[in-house]
Structure 1
Amino acid sequence: MPYVVSATWTAQPGSEDVVLDAIEKLTPPSREEPGNRFYQAYQDPTDTSVFRLFEIYDDEAAYAAHGASDHFKQYALEQAIPVLANRERAFYETIGG
């Protein structure tokens, strides 16, 4: 069953451009991962410090592979996450096909 991840990243004041840059660089290689079905980030138009990422993977192992990838390490762990004020993640399993 597909594995769904919903993440919310809130940038520290003044760090919005750093997070946006990281997401823009992280998205293309994430979409190319073998187990990735969908990867889309959004920025809140009324609070530009808030970013949401919606991801669908073949299974939990594919999500784990994403988290272990070089591009996740470089752009998420090393660039974006250090300048976040808050990071939330929620995990779901799909129902039906």
Structure 2
Amino acid sequence: MFVVVAHYYAKEGKDDEIAEILQRMIPISLAEPGCLVYYVNRSLDDRRKFLLYEQYRTRDDYEAHKASAAFQENIVGKVIPMLESRVPEFYELVEPAE
């Protein structure tokens, strides 16, 4: 299982607009064949901070997500220009021992 954790920090005054776009991306992303989990979290302490937690079957499924028209239009085209910072991290899921 391929896991992505992305930390987004919105530019001043752009946080609500980013939240709306990310909210729209949830069902779109979950409809992709390889996407298992797509959670968007917003900090209670600093409304400009977002944490995205995503799980995909494989890294190729994640790459397909990034190449999708919805990602290119909404994340690359709209969200990224409104961010002060964006830090993606990649993990593999540690499954319980059998």
Q: Sort the TM-score into its range (normalised by shorter chain).
A: over 0.9
1:16 counterpart letter in structure 2 = D
Give the match for residue 36 of structure 1: 35
**Offset, 1:94:** 1.9
Mapped contact 1:25–1:75 kept (Cα < 8 A): no
Give the alignment's TM-score, normalised by structure 2: 0.94
Aligned partner of 2:20 in structure 1 is 21
Shift of 1:41: 0.4
Q: For this pair of structures, how many residues does the alignment match?
A: 96
List alignment gaps of at least 5 residues for structure 2. none
> Is residue 79 of structure 2 the alignment partner of residue 80 of structure 1?
yes
Structure 1 spans left out of the alignment, 5+ residues: none
Aligned residue for 1:28, secondary structure, equals helix
Give me the whole-angstrom Cα distance separating, in 2, the residues matched to 1:70 and 1:40.
20
Conservation of the 8 A alpha-carbon contact between 1:18 and 1:79: no
Aligned CA RMSD, in angstroms, stands at 1.0
